[in-house]
Amino acid sequence: MASENIIEEKKQGQALVTDKVNGNSKKLFIESYGCQMNLNDSEIVASILAKEGFNTTHLLEEADLVLVNTCSIREKAEQTIRKRLQKYNRVRRINPGMKIGVLGCMAERLKTKFLEEEKMVDLVVGPDAYRDLPNLVREIESGKDAINVILSKEETYGDVTPVRLNSNGVSAFISITRGCDNMCTFCVVPFTRGRERSRDPQSIVKEAQDLWEKGYKEITLLGQNVDSYLWYGGGLKKDFKNASEIAKATATDFSKLLEMVALAVPKMRIRFATSNPQDMSVDVLHSMAKFDNICNYIHLPVQTGSTRMLERMNRQHTREEYMELVDNVKRIIPDCAISQDMITGFCGETEEDHQDTLSLMEYVEYDFGFMFAYSERPGTLAAKKMEDDVPHEIKKRRLSEIINLQQRLSLSKMQQAVGKTVEILIEGDSKKSSEHWMGRNSQNAVAVFPKTDEKIGDLVMVRVDDCTSATLIGTRVA
């Protein structure tokens, strides 16, 4: 995290490691950048390659195959990937047998350019082509370049059991949808991850139960837009011949899926991300209120507080509709925490639009958020049709004002917990002291407290004695 831990940066790249499989002789080094979906995809990739003789390693220098799972959401993310590829190629000078591959959104966006222009990789694989990795790896091992960036309208990897990379044994991700149909004008996701499709709910429930049996205590249901999850009893929508067949089918929407999972693993904490405001129904809120094991936390991206800018972004809701949704959240789940995504300096943004964003933040009183200055992404409608006309210095100033306001709001929210006793799921050691535990409450707030006789994965009651704008500081109580 940055800025007093208020801006929770997307997961930074790290070597992902799992248990060794006996008999595997080849070594895979895999790094993941970007969103939680990328981390989950890396777990799918490691599972597929484990069956091809690869164990993961945290030592780049000893790897036979190096993969980086990439993000294209911002220009800075792509610059980071290019620097990592340069690093890999320097290491390859001392390990000439090493093969290098790019996975994910950046691979999908740049496609053959990585092989033709970059000349830094042997392998390029889009997010819907991971099943083809065994064939592609054999291609590069024979000295050929290999690429598969074909997007699918069907692939969900629902039958692939992800390995849990660098797991704390407490929290895990379960992907429930892939792709996105929203076509926000600033966003590359529909082009890099394809059309939206949902996964069979029974496979989701089975994965949750399997994780519980393995000792996990918390799951996060993942998708670019979980609220648009929809599965028909007769199969995916593509299987139906006409509208009447669809109408006769039994549909499972996201609120029903939440209840299915909550009932299947009643003692496991359940979170979900990410929600799109126009698709979040009141039914979802009632499902959250109904089950104690569904955490009282919603990540609710808005991007801007201006209705005019929301329209330019093709966000499919107004400022007033978003505020009504927030009112419903607070009415139905009074102690629910809400976080935001905010983009400042989008094409045509005026000072009045910026003030609308600040006033919306004041109205919602977000617990924390992810805040960025707009950067143009090639291929999006904004890049094709709109001028990136807000000067860098103005973007920088507006972003600073948004961050400062969020810091104040976050501190106020944390202060409200002081003196209260909250339930904390222990995730591991505190970053600052091995004598303290770190965990989170239902609202996703980080808490630290001195160790006694607890262990990782325990749910304990903690009295909050103090706080910062990002952390609750407390003491365990009986």
Taking only the tens place, the pLDDT of each residue in 244-301 is: 555 555 789 999 999 999 999 999 999 999 999 999 999 999 999 999 999 999 999 9
pLDDT for res 72: 84
What is the DSSP pairing of strand 446-450 with strand 436-440? antiparallel
Residue 194's Cβ-side half-sphere holds a number of Cα atoms within 13 Å equal to 18
Note whether 241 and 342 are same-domain residues.
yes
Mean pLDDT computed over 67-95: 91
Q: What pLDDT, in 10s, does the model give residues 150-206?
A: 999 999 999 998 988 877 899 999 999 999 999 999 999 999 999 999 999 999 999
For residue 132, what are the CA distances in angstroms to 3, 137, 204, 349, 382? Answer: 41, 9, 23, 43, 33
Among 368, 388, 415, identify where a domain stops: 415
- One-letter identity of residue 200: D
Q: pLDDT tier at 24 (50, 70, 90 boundaries)?
A: confident
Domain membership of residue 467 (yes or no) is yes
Note whether 387 and 449 are same-domain residues.
no
Note whether 346 and 463 are same-domain residues.
no
Q: What pLDDT, in 10s, does the model give residues 362-408?
A: 999 999 999 999 999 999 999 999 999 999 999 999 999 999 999 99
Domain count across the chain:
3
Give me the residue label for tokens 């992404």. Answer: 377
Domain membership of residue 330 (yes or no) is yes
**Average pLDDT value over all residues in the chain:** 91
Domain membership of residue 364 (yes or no) is yes
Among 415, 430, 465, identify where a domain stops: 415
* Residues of the chain above pLDDT 70, percent: 92
Note whether 411 and 425 are same-domain residues.
no
Res 323 pLDDT > 50: yes
Note whether 33 and 120 are same-domain residues.
yes
What is the DSSP pairing of strand 297-299 with strand 337-344? parallel
Mean pLDDT computed over 314-343: 98
Domain membership of residue 125 (yes or no) is yes
Q: Domain of 238?
A: 171-415
Q: What pLDDT, in 10s, does the model give residues 98-121?
A: 999 999 999 999 888 888 877 789
> Cα angle vertex 42, ends 39, 46, to 5°?
145
Q: What pLDDT, in 10s, does the model give residues 45-58?
A: 999 999 999 999 98
Among 391, 415, 439, identify where a domain stops: 415
pLDDT for res 251: 87
Note whether 230 and 379 are same-domain residues.
yes
Note whether 363 and 247 are same-domain residues.
yes
CATH number at residue 442: 2.40.50.140
CATH number at residue 325: 3.80.30.20
Q: Can you count the helices (H) and strands (E) in the chain?
A: 15, 21
Note whether 195 and 82 are same-domain residues.
no
Note whether 241 and 372 are same-domain residues.
yes
Note whether 337 and 441 are same-domain residues.
no
Mean pLDDT computed over 9-34: 71
Mean pLDDT computed over 76-95: 92
329 touches 283 (CB < 8 A): no
Query: What 8-state DSSP symbol labels residue 235?
Result: B
Backbone angles phi, psi at 253, to 5 degrees: -95, -175
Q: pLDDT tier at 233 (50, 70, 90 boundaries)?
A: low
> Residue 334 has which token pair?
């009074």
Domain membership of residue 176 (yes or no) is yes
Domain membership of residue 8 (yes or no) is no
Domain membership of residue 182 (yes or no) is yes
Note whether 400 and 349 are same-domain residues.
yes
Mean pLDDT computed over 130-141: 96
Q: pLDDT tier at 17 (50, 70, 90 boundaries)?
A: low
Mean pLDDT computed over 302-316: 98
Query: What 8-state DSSP symbol labels residue 115?
Result: I
Name the most confidently modeled range: 139-143, 240-244, 316-320. 316-320
Res 7 pLDDT > 80: no
Note whether 322 and 255 are same-domain residues.
yes
Domain membership of residue 437 (yes or no) is yes
For residue 449, what are the CA distances in angstroms to 36, 218, 433, 452? Answer: 27, 20, 10, 9
> Is the N-terminal amide bond of 274 cis, ω within 30° of 0?
yes
390 touches 433 (CB < 8 A): no
For residue 411, what are the CA distances in angstroms to 292, 365, 470? Answer: 26, 11, 7
